[in-house]
Amino acid sequence: MIDHLTYTPELVAYYRAVTVREPDILRRLRDETLRLPNAQMQISPEQGQFFRLLAELFHFRRTIEIGVFTGYSCLNLALALPPDGRIVACDINKEWTDIARRYWSEAGVESKIEFKLGPAVETLQHLAGNEAGKFDFVFVDGDKENYDRYYELSLLLLRSDGLMALDNMLRAGRIVDSGDQTSDVQVLRALNAKIRSDERVTPAGLPFGDGLTLVRKR
């Protein structure tokens, strides 16, 4: 039995080729994003397809995305949501999200996406005022220093049995470097430990990209 598999570029390319069904509009958005200086912020196509599967499997209708970038993950979800589905999409960067909105419009899913330009903490706090416990899924992929606040607010907004996915939980491997005491890494170390012992949730770690943690709200 293999305890740990090393994912070479060739192995990733093969597995992607035999498992990912990526619509043309998603492929074009991903290709455009790859030309940007911050292209590493984009999730992988296999992660996007995983979100589509979750949406279909658990019949998501109301979701939240914290950190939109150019909209690839959001578009994946929107394509899988029913016609009355809703995504509250939070980001502070107009330049990147202008790209996202162009593709959302072309895909015909813009009506499903309620875009909020501004600090996500403020948006989540506002939602918590009258929509606590009403969301099926939250994807956390924003600034790492606020991850603990996003986690707590997301738990408040999720319904029982709702899911949260937190990206970049391994921080490019820096999470196990004891000499790395930068603020983002310290926040993620503390949150990883918190989630492990948090009886409010059932967690699972997945080896997508930079580490994806799933939690089910009990």
- Residue-wise pLDDT for 133-161, tens only, equals 999 999 999 999 999 999 999 999 999 99
pLDDT at 65: 98
Q: Measure the CA angle with vertex 194, ends 189 and 199; round to 5°.
A: 160
Is the confidence at residue 1, as pLDDT, over 70?
A: no
Mean pLDDT, all residues of the chain: 95
For residue 1, being part of any structural domain is answered with no
For residue 71, being part of any structural domain is answered with yes
Q: Output the pTM of the full model.
A: 0.95
Confidence bin at 199 (pLDDT 50/70/90): very high
For residue 137, being part of any structural domain is answered with yes
CA 130 distance to own-chain centroid:
23
Total structural domains within the chain: 1
Residue 161's CATH number: 3.40.50.150
Say if CB 175 and CB 157 are below 8 A apart: no
- Residue 81 and residue 51: Cα distance in Å, rounded? 11
Give the residue from 17, 15, 79 showing the smallest Cα distance to 48. Answer: 79
For residue 144, being part of any structural domain is answered with yes
Which positions ≥6 away from 164 have C-beta within 8 Å? 137, 138, 139, 140, 151, 154, 155, 158, 201, 214, 215, 217
For residue 4, being part of any structural domain is answered with no
pLDDT at 207: 81
Strand 201-206 to 135-140 pairing: unpaired
- Residue 207 and residue 113: Cα distance in Å, rounded? 28
- Residue 215 and residue 218: Cα distance in Å, rounded? 9
pLDDT at 107: 98
For residue 2, being part of any structural domain is answered with no
Mean pLDDT of 109-131: 97
Which positions ≥6 away from 85 have C-beta within 8 Å? 60, 61, 62, 63, 78, 112
Confidence bin at 189 (pLDDT 50/70/90): very high
Confidence bin at 215 (pLDDT 50/70/90): very high
For residue 201, being part of any structural domain is answered with yes
pLDDT at 160: 98
Phi, psi values for residue 140, rounded to 5°: -100, 115
Confidence bin at 197 (pLDDT 50/70/90): very high
Domain span at residue 179 reads: 9-217
For residue 62, being part of any structural domain is answered with yes
